Structure 1
Amino acid sequence: MSFKVAIIGAGSIGFTKTLVSDLFKVPEFSDIEIALTDINEHNLDMVRQIIEKIVAVNDLPARVTATTDRRAAIEGARYIMSCVRVGGLEAFAGDIDIPLKYDVDQCVGDTLCAGGIMYGQRNIPVILDFCKDIREVAEPGALFLNYANPMAMNTWAALQYGGVDTVGLCHGVQHGARQIAQVLGVKGSELDYICSGINHQTWFIDLRVNGRRIEKGELIAAFERHPVYSQQEKLRIDVLKRFGVYSTESNGHLSEYLPWYRKRPEEIGKWIDMSEWIHGETGGYLRYCTEARNWFETDFPKFLAEAEKPLSEHRRTSEHASYILEARETGRIYRGHFNVKNNGIITNLPTDAIIESPGFVDRFGINMVEGITLPLACAATCNASISVQRMAVEAAIAGDIDLLKLAVLHDPLVGAVCTPDEVWAMVDEMVVAQAKWLPQYAAAVPAAKERLARTKVAVRDWQGAARKPVRTVEELRRMEGAHR
C-alpha cells in the first residue's frame, strides 16, 4: 500500500517517533510517505533525522519529507495528524502562572480550567487553518486525527466549523485499563471494559474479567490494597467511592476538572501525591515538558542513536492512530475509544458535545456504539464541562472576550475559587499576555489593558500549593544514573 500521512507539529519529538514507529509495524505500510511539518525548523530537522534513521536501518521503501510549508505537507495526504501546542512552552507557562496569581492551582492546565480554556483560544484558529488546507489540497475524504489538547474543544471546532472528517484521539482509557488490570491481578487481555463520557472525564461504566462483572466494592478494595496506586490515586479512589465508577484520568488531571479538591490550598496536599508530576503537582506537566525539551536538546545524539534499533525491538504501543489506519486500509477490525460528535451516542449528554466512547473501525470508517447512558453523577460532571467547552469554542471562533470570561467563570475549579471580578481580571491579563497567539482578540486587547490598569482586584505572588523547581539536565542525568 502507498499513501501519504502528514504530521503537523512533528517537532513533538518523542510522540512523533512513537506514531511513526507504530505505523511501520503494520506490514502493509512499509511503502507509505511520511510528511513532517512544524513551524520550528530546528525541531523539525531533529525529528527528520530520527525518522529517516528508522527507515534506513529497517531498509524500508517508505519516503520521508520535512518542510515548514504546512500546505505542501498536507497536499495529497490521506491522513493528517495534529500534535501541535500553539504558543509552545512560553504560552503554557502563562496558562499556569497567571491563574496562580488568582489562587487557581492547576496540575496540567491543558483541557479545562483557566489554562485549558486559553489553550483552546490559541489552538482553534490554527486548527481551522489546518482544516482549510485539508479541504483544499489533501486527498478527497482525508481523515484528520487530532491528538492535540484541549481535545474536545479542538475536535468540536474542526467538526463544527472546519468542515473536515475529524476524530480526536487520547490514551487515557488505555492507561486507566492497565491500572485496573494491575490492581485486580489479571492480564490486560483478560479485562474487557466500556468507557464513556467526554475526553479526560471518561468513566469505566462496565468492567469484566473473563466475562465476570467487577462491582464497585471489589474495585475499591483492589485499589486500596495496592501499595502504589493507593497513595498516587487518592483523589480518583475517592471519586470511585462516591460516583461508583472509576475515572480514566490521572489523579492530577482529574483534580482540576472538579470543583472540590483543589479549591483550598491547605487541602490540596491531602489529595495529591508528589512522587510523579501526574499525581497532582502544581504546574507539574509544564515542569515535565520543560525538562524533557531541555534534555532532548542536550542529548540529541543519544536519541538519534536509539533510532538505530530495528523495528523488531519496537513494541507497538496502544496509541489509536496506527490501528485506525490499519483497519481502514486492510479491513482488520479495531475497537477503541474515540472522540466524536455525540449525536445520540450517549443518551444523557447534549447532541452537539464531543464525547469519548467505544467504536469499531473497518473499511467503512469509524462506527460508534450508540445508546449508552452514563450514571447520573458522571453525566452531571460531564455536562458542566461541556457547557464550558461550548462557550469556549464559540468565544474562540468569534473573538468574543465577554463570552470567554463567561466560559472561565463557569469552569468548575475556577468557579470554586474566584469571584466574578477576579475572573474578569484574570482573563483580561491572560488575553493581554498571550495576545501574539490570539489574533481573533486583537480588537479587544486595548480595552483589556485599560481595565487592568484601573482594576482593584488583588493578586498575589504565589507558586501554588505543591510546586517543584525545574531540574537541570545535569540533575536529570544524575537521577537517571542513580535509578539504573
Structure 2
Amino acid sequence: MTTPKIAFVGAGSTVFAKNLLGDILSFPELGGADIRLFDINQERLDVTEQVAHRVARTVGASPRVIATTDRDRALDGADFVINMIQVGGYQPATVTDFEVPKAYGLRQTIADTLGIGGIMRALRTVPVLADMSRDMERLCPDTLHLNYVNPMAMNIWGLARLTPRVKTVGLCHSVQHTAEELAKDLGIPVEEIDYLCAGINHMAFYLKFEHRGQSLYPRLMELAESGQVPEWNRVRYEMLRRLGSFVTESSEHFSEYVPYFIKRGRDDLLEKFNVPLDEYPRRCVSQIGGWEDLRTKLQNPDEPLEVTRSVEYGSLIIHSMVTGQPRVVYGNVMNSPLDGSAGKLIANLPDECSVEVPCLVDRQGIQPTRIGRIPPQLAGLMQTNINVQALTVEAIVTGNREHIFHAAMLDPHTSAELDLDQIWALTNDLLNQHGDFIPETLQAAD
C-alpha cells in the first residue's frame, strides 16, 4: 500500500476534518495520499475541500483530493474510511434529545453516549452506519473503518451484529486527553507518564498511572481528598475517592452515566460538583460559529491557516499500517469475536459488549490487548451502562421496540429522575418526535 486511499465520510465536519487532514498529510509517507471527501451538505463540503488544499500547501504535501456527494465514489476501493457523521444534526435531532426530556423533568449534560439522548442517537445512527458498511462490503471489503461517531459503544456493537465482515475500530480521544489533564494537575510532563487503561468507551479507567516506576495514584488521591481540584473535574475526582481509580471521560459526560450527581430535588449536587446542564447544545452552537469563522478565514487569502498535530489516533493508525511502524493506540472493539474464535479481552465483562483497550497497530492492522480481570467495582459500574447498550442494540437488530423502553428503564440517570410511567411516556414521545430518523419498525405507536 504505497498510496493509501482515504475516504472521509461526513467531511462537512470541517474543523475535525482539518485536524485529521493535517495529521495525515504531515507524514511524508502519506503526503501523496488519495483523499476522498464525502458529505451530503454541498456548502460544507466545499469549505472542507478548500481546507484540504490549504492544509496540503501548508505542510508541503501533494495529495489527490476529490470532494463528492456520491458516497459510492468516495468509498470505491478505499483502504481507510474515516467516519464522522451526525445523523439528524444539531437541528432537529440534538435539540429534540434535550428539549423533550426537559419537559418531563429529565436534565442532561451531553446526551450523546448513554441516557435517553444516547439511546435515541443510537437508534438513528446505527442503521445508517450499517447501511454504509454494507456499501463497504461491496466497494472496499478490505478497508479499515475508523469510526469517530457516538454513541461509540453502541455503534461498534451494532455494526458487529449487523455487518461483521467490515473491520471496524472506534476511536475516541478521552484516554489521551485525560492523561494530559492529570499530568497537568500533578505538574509532570505527560510524556514521562506510563499508563494502562481499559473498560468501555467513556467509562474506561486507568489501571496503572505511573511516573518513573512509581504509582501516581497516592498523589491523585491526596488531591481528591484535599478538594483542591479543577472545578470542572469535581465529579471524576469524587469517583476516584469512591472507586480508587480515575475514569477517562470528562466530568460533564460522566455525571449522566451514573445516578449520583443529577437527581430530582437535589440541585445542591449540581452546584457542589459543578455539573453543567445543557453543555452539549452550547458546545454545538459554538462549533457552528467556529465553522462560520473558518469559512470567513478561508475566503481571505491573507489569513494564515495554522496546522498543528492533534492527539487523534486516526493518522497514527494509517501511518503504521502503511509503513509498518508499530504503535500502541486505544481502540473500541468487541470484547470477544461474535463467532467465538477467541477469548475475552476483559475477563469480567460480558462476551458480547464493546470495550476500549490498548491495541498494537502495524502492517497487520489492529491487534487488541488481552487485559484479564479488572477491579470488580469498576466492572460492576460498567455493567450498568452495558445493560442499556445491550438492550438498545437488541432493539435495532431485532426490530423489537419494547427493548427501547427497557433500555430507558435501566438507564442509571433516567431512573434517578423519572418514574416508570414518565419513562415510558418520554420514550414514546421521543420516538414520535424523531419520526423518520428512527427505523420504521421502531417508530412510535399510533
- The residue aligned with 2:367 is 367
Question: Could you list the per-position Cα deviations for residues 253-297 of structure 1 after superposition, in whole angstroms to 9, with x for gaps in the alignment?
Answer: 000000111113423423443xxxxxx321111111123213422
Distance in 2 (CA, whole Å) between partners of 1:286 and 1:158 is 27
| 2:44 pairs with 1:43 | yes
Question: Could you list the per-position Cα deviations for residues 335-387 of structure 1 after superposition, in whole angstroms to 9, with x for gaps in the alignment?
Answer: 11110011211111011110001121111111222133221111011111111
SS in 1 for 2:421: helix
| 2:116 pairs with 1:114 | yes
CA positional deviation for 1:5: 0.5
* 156, 161, 180: which one aligns with 2:182: 180
- The residue aligned with 1:420 is 420
Distance in 2 (CA, whole Å) between partners of 1:210 and 1:307 is 47
Identify if the C-alpha distance between structure 1 residues 378 and 212 changes in structure 2 by more than 3 Å, giving closer, same or farther: same
SS in 1 for 2:261: coil
Distance in 2 (CA, whole Å) between partners of 1:387 and 1:247 is 19
RMSD: 1.9
- The residue aligned with 2:410 is 410
| 2:84 pairs with 1:92 | no
Q: Is the 8 A contact 1:235 1:271 kept in 2?
A: no
- The residue aligned with 1:445 is 444
Q: Is the 8 A contact 2:224 2:240 kept in 1?
A: no
Q: Is the 8 A contact 1:272 1:281 kept in 2?
A: no
| 2:11 pairs with 1:10 | yes
| 2:271 pairs with 1:290 | no
SS in 2 for 1:220: helix
Identify if the C-alpha distance between structure 1 residues 49 and 37 changes in structure 2 by more than 3 Å, giving closer, same or farther: same
Q: Is the 8 A contact 1:252 1:272 kept in 2?
A: no
Distance in 1 (CA, whole Å) between partners of 2:54 and 2:298 is 11
Identify if the C-alpha distance between structure 1 residues 85 and 175 changes in structure 2 by more than 3 Å, giving closer, same or farther: same
CA positional deviation for 1:220: 1.9
Q: Is the 8 A contact 1:236 1:247 kept in 2?
A: yes
Identify if the C-alpha distance between structure 1 residues 59 and 204 changes in structure 2 by more than 3 Å, giving closer, same or farther: closer
Q: Is the 8 A contact 1:51 1:64 kept in 2?
A: yes
The percentage of aligned residue pairs carrying the same residue is 33
Q: TM-score, normalised by structure 1?
A: 0.86
- The residue aligned with 1:468 is none
- The residue aligned with 1:459 is none
Q: Is the 8 A contact 2:224 2:238 kept in 1?
A: no
Q: Is the 8 A contact 2:26 2:61 kept in 1?
A: no
- The residue aligned with 1:208 is 210
CA positional deviation for 1:113: 0.3
* 101, 104, 126: which one aligns with 2:103: 101
Distance in 2 (CA, whole Å) between partners of 1:27 and 1:416 is 52
Q: Is the 8 A contact 1:183 1:223 kept in 2?
A: no
- The residue aligned with 2:220 is 219
SS in 2 for 1:366: strand
One-letter code aligned to 2:287:
A
Q: Is the 8 A contact 1:261 1:267 kept in 2?
A: no
One-letter code aligned to 2:136:
I
- The residue aligned with 1:479 is none
| 2:243 pairs with 1:232 | no
Identify if the C-alpha distance between structure 1 residues 18 and 224 changes in structure 2 by more than 3 Å, giving closer, same or farther: farther
- The residue aligned with 2:315 is 322
SS in 1 for 2:352: coil
Question: Could you list the per-position Cα deviations for residues 393-434 of structure 1 after superposition, in whole angstroms to 9, with x for gaps in the alignment?
Answer: 121233332111111111111111211111110011001100
Distance in 2 (CA, whole Å) between partners of 1:329 and 1:394 is 36
Distance in 2 (CA, whole Å) between partners of 1:79 and 1:106 is 35
- The residue aligned with 2:392 is 392
One-letter code aligned to 1:146:
N
One-letter code aligned to 1:329:
V
- The residue aligned with 1:123 is 125
One-letter code aligned to 2:129:
I
- The residue aligned with 1:473 is none
Q: For structure 1, which runs of at least 5 residues remain unmatched after alignment?
A: 274-279, 448-484
Q: For structure 2, which runs of at least 5 residues remain unmatched after alignment?
A: 337-343
CA positional deviation for 1:307: 10
Distance in 1 (CA, whole Å) between partners of 2:311 and 2:294 is 27
Q: Is the 8 A contact 1:35 1:66 kept in 2?
A: yes
SS in 2 for 1:239: helix
One-letter code aligned to 1:20:
L
Distance in 2 (CA, whole Å) between partners of 1:66 and 1:122 is 25
Identify if the C-alpha distance between structure 1 residues 8 and 82 changes in structure 2 by more than 3 Å, giving closer, same or farther: same
Identify if the C-alpha distance between structure 1 residues 303 and 262 changes in structure 2 by more than 3 Å, giving closer, same or farther: farther
Q: TM-score, normalised by structure 2?
A: 0.93
Runs of 4 or more consecutive aligned structure 1 residues displaced over 4 Å after TM superposition = 223-227, 303-310
Question: Could you list the per-position Cα deviations for residues 177-214 of structure 1 after superposition, in whole angstroms to 9, with x for gaps in the alignment?
Answer: 01111122111111010111100001011111011122
| 2:82 pairs with 1:81 | yes
Distance in 2 (CA, whole Å) between partners of 1:31 and 1:66 is 16
Distance in 2 (CA, whole Å) between partners of 1:291 and 1:362 is 37
Distance in 1 (CA, whole Å) between partners of 2:277 and 2:69 is 34
SS in 2 for 1:262: coil
In the alignment of these two chains, the number of paired residues is 435
Q: Is the 8 A contact 2:7 2:80 kept in 1?
A: yes
SS in 2 for 1:110: coil
Describe how 1:123-142 pairs up with structure 2 within 5 A.
123-138=125-140, 140-142=141-143
CA positional deviation for 1:22: 0.3
Distance in 2 (CA, whole Å) between partners of 1:387 and 1:306 is 52
Return 114-123 or 204-213, whichever deviates more.
Answer: 204-213
Distance in 1 (CA, whole Å) between partners of 2:51 and 2:308 is 17
